[in-house]
Structure formats: structure tokens, C-alpha cells
């Protein structure tokens, strides 16, 4: 278990789709542990293997005030509600900036656990937002691509100023 370096925007690997995990083995479990430790150190509430430059479909989520670490292997959304909600989002790859993103209010997804067993689950609220955000990342869609051009440019400019000031 280790804290690994996180790719920073605008690294091109953040826009590359991730490959399915085929081996449910000790290496995949170790990567999930490293993702958890890296996410906590960032700090964040969700992280994917691509955030570490590893193009595998693996997500770890730990919501505030919950004592559970959720691990999703090869998650995919199979249904989205027509109703939408807005929520502030950000990224461990672009720390310090957030912006409101509109997404479906509920989703249903299929995924595997670390033993390779397939599950289906519905999610809404913060968990639903996190899952959509992280699955986008697995598909090579960085969160700011969900913003209008003007709002995206403002976020990039804000992040650039913060990075120069650091």
C-alpha cells in the first residue's frame, strides 16, 4: 500500500480511455489499495487508475462521513434518469478548483468486485455524481469537458493561476 503520484491536468493520459481489467488478482487488489491511500492523501472522495497513469477500469470511492470504501472494477452505466441535478465537482488531477456540473439525478451501473463477481446497483445523490464523474474519467472524458466552453476556460485559467502561485 502506497501513495502514488497523481497526474496533473493537462496531462494527455487523462483523456485516454481505460482498458477493462481482465485479471482479478493480487496486482489488482494492490492497485485498489494504492488508489485508496492516494485518494485519502490527495485528499479526494473518488479516484481512478487513470489518475495514476494506469489505463485500467478501476474506481475507488469513499464518501465523507461513511466508513466504507467502494471499489468498482469495469463499471459501466446501463441506465440514466431523465431528471438532472447540479453538483459542484473537481478532480484530484486539478486540485483547488471546482465548478457546477449538471448530470442525471440517478444512474444504474454494472461492475465487478475485486473477486470478479458482477453486480448491478442504482445510485443517486453524491454517490451517483461520483460514479458518473469517475466513469467519465475511465472513458477518457475529463470532468471539465462537461462544462460550457466559457466555464471550462475560466476553470483552466483559475487552475493555471493557482499552479503558478504555488
Check if 134 is active-site: yes
- The active-site residue out of 66, 86, 89, 134 is 134
Q: In angstroms, what CA-CA distances link 48 with 14, 140, 149?
A: 10, 11, 25
**140 dihedral zone (left: phi>0; alpha: psi -120 to 50; beta):** left
Q: Would you say 62 and 38 are in contact if contact means Cβ atoms under 8 Å apart?
A: no
Q: Alpha carbon of 136 to those of 24, 41, 45, 77: distances in Å?
A: 22, 22, 15, 10
Widest Cα–Cα separation across the chain: 46
State the catalytic residues: 134
Amino acid at each position: 500500500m502506497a501513495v502514488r503520484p497523481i497526474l496533473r491536468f493537462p496531462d494527455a493520459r487523462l483523456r485516454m480511455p481505460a482498458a477493462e481489467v481482465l485479471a482479478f488478482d493480487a496486482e489488482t487488489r494492490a492497485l485498489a489499495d494504492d488508489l485508496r491511500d492516494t485518494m485519502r492523501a490527495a485528499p479526494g472522495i473518488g479516484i481512478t487508475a487513470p489518475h495514476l497513469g494506469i489505463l485500467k477500469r478501476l474506481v475507488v470511492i469513499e464518501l465523507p462521513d461513511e466508513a466504507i470504501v467502494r471499489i468498482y472494477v469495469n463499471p459501466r452505466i446501463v441506465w440514466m434518469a431523465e431528471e438532472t441535478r447540479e453538483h459542484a465537482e473537481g478532480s484530484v488531477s486539478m486540485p483547488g478548483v471546482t465548478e457546477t456540473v449538471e448530470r442525471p439525478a440517478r444512474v444504474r451501473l454494472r461492475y465487478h468486485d475485486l473477486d470478479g463477481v458482477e453486480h448491478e446497483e442504482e445510485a443517486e445523490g453524491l454517490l451517483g455524481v461520483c460514479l458518473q464523474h469517475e466513469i467519465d474519467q475511465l472513458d477518457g472524458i475529463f470532468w471539465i469537458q462537461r462544462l460550457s466552453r466559457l466555464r471550462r476556460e475560466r476553470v483552466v485559467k483559475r487552475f493555471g493561476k493557482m499552479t503558478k502561485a504555488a
